[in-house]
Amino acid sequence: MPDLKTSAIGALLAALLCTPVFALAEDADFSGQVRALLNNYTSNSASPLAIANQLAPGLSNKNTLLGVVETELRASGKGITAVATLQGQMNDGGRTQATAWLNELYGSLGDGAWQFSAGKKTIAWDVGYGFRPNDVVAQEKRRSLISTTVIGKPLASLEYFNSNTSVSMVWVNPGHATTTDVADEQALAARVYHHTGGVDLHGFGRYGQKSGGSLGAAASWVATDEMEVHGSLRFMQRNTGLRMNADTALLQRNSPWQNNTQNNVVQAMLGANYTTESQHSFFIEAWWDGTALSDREWQNWNKRNLALQGSVNYLPQMQQVIGHNLAWQNQALSASGNIRRKNVFARWSWQENGWQPSLDLLWTPEDNGRIVTAALGWQGDRISINGGVRFYGGPSKAILAQLPDSRTAYISATWAF
């Protein structure tokens, strides 16, 4: 998350610069929301990180309780849109933190079918819910417990549209130096959209300074009043992510997880949604993510964890070093947006008089890992209340059963103005 010095000062300066423009605009629009959020985390004693902390106490200081209060402000007028967030946090240790950042600040102009935008903006593409391979600009993290406003990217975009077709060209992160993080690299992206009958067709292209080219396609078909089917496919020339060499020695002085390049990577998703007249919604998606670690790589990860834990018996004097090496194993969990390549996601929800209960399951068939989330929300005119709990589990060798947390619970209240 952005630090206080750069983000807070940047957000305040942007607000000051934009205030005169909005004040003079007769059609200026102001809105926002205030949200209070309480998160409770239950640590997983079987995770490599927890065992590492036993071997090297103080290596990881995990909070079990986190309170957050944040205010989101929105303003628009004279072709300028600004969204800023101010946030305060307090954990169970009494430590506080204040942060502010700009979600969006961009200007738009256009006449008729043409539209031009420049600044910091969110442009989200693709048709999926749990996974969006072709979200090549925003690259939003999916399935978060709380819906938050995405932080946009610096970009310039040009779009042409009519009643059935649109074409978009985006220059994202202009002028950025070469980086190993695909989300921050300079790139050109394009989307073509066409609506025909009950089908929405999408074509995508992207060329990144580091990652090279990628091509993608997606479709969404409204088969009946109750049923919708969608799918997405992407081929990537290159992808950079954390990997470990198979012949790496057991004990290392520095993290053995280093950025490595994959060639010719495929991502694919297929899903369907069925909604009844009584507002019960049943949703299912299955996807393959070639950027994630392979089944063999995860097997080697499990073997390395066991070898590190076993080495304490014959190398007790190296306990601290073993602890650090176990902690580094946790880095593999962030090697990709998906932990496993094969994923199946199912969700049920229901809407009735402002209430929305939901239950969903993410299952990784390669090792039978699972994430189960139960939630309940209520939406009034200006106030909404949401709460839920998420469980991580599976067999002992399942990767999802070895995450740092075994359970996360939350409750939030939001007032919109």
Q: Minimal CA–CA distance to 263: which of 292, 227, 236?
A: 236
What are the DSSP E strand ranges found in 244-396? 258-275, 280-289, 342-350, 355-364, 369-379, 383-393
Residue 358, SS3 per DSSP: strand
Instruction: Give per-residue pLDDT as tens, 222-280.
Output: 999 999 999 999 999 999 999 998 788 999 999 999 999 999 999 999 999 999 999 99
Quick one: tokens of 85? 């967030």
Quote the Cα angle for 144-148-149, to 5°: 135
Which pLDDT belongs to residue 25? Answer: 53
| 20 confidence band (pLDDT: 50, 70, 90) | very low
With contact defined as beta carbons under 8 Å apart, do 180 and 210 qualify? yes
CA distance 170 to 190: 6
Structural domain range at position 204: 4-416
Instruction: Give per-residue pLDDT as tens, 281-338.
Output: 999 999 999 999 999 999 999 999 999 999 999 999 999 999 999 999 999 999 999 9
Q: For residue 338, give every residue at least 6 positions away whose Cβ sits within 8 Å of its Cβ, in sequence order, or none.
A: 131, 287, 289, 291, 292
Which pLDDT belongs to residue 14? Answer: 46
Which pLDDT belongs to residue 7? Answer: 43
CA distance 141 to 392: 18
Which pLDDT belongs to residue 10? Answer: 45
Q: Is 398 left (phi over 0), alpha (psi -120 to 50) or beta?
A: beta
CA distance 275 to 114: 36
Least confident piece of the model among 12-21, 309-318, 346-355? 12-21
Q: How many domains does the chain have?
A: 1
Quick one: tokens of 4? 């206080």
CA distance 326 to 334: 15
Instruction: Give per-residue pLDDT as tens, 194-230.
Output: 999 899 999 999 999 888 999 999 999 999 999 999 9
Which pLDDT belongs to residue 245? Answer: 84
Which pLDDT belongs to residue 4? Answer: 40
Residue 131, SS3 per DSSP: coil
What mean pLDDT do residues 148-158 have? 94
Q: For residue 309, give every residue at least 6 positions away whose Cβ sits within 8 Å of its Cβ, in sequence order, or none.
A: 51, 322, 326
Instruction: Give per-residue pLDDT as tens, 83-128.
Output: 999 999 999 888 999 999 999 999 999 888 999 999 999 999 999 9
- The domain that contains 271 carries what CATH number? 2.40.160
Quick one: tokens of 2? 């952005």
Q: Side chain identity at 284, as an amino acid letter?
A: I
Specify the residue for token string 């939350």.
410
This prediction has a pTM of 0.88
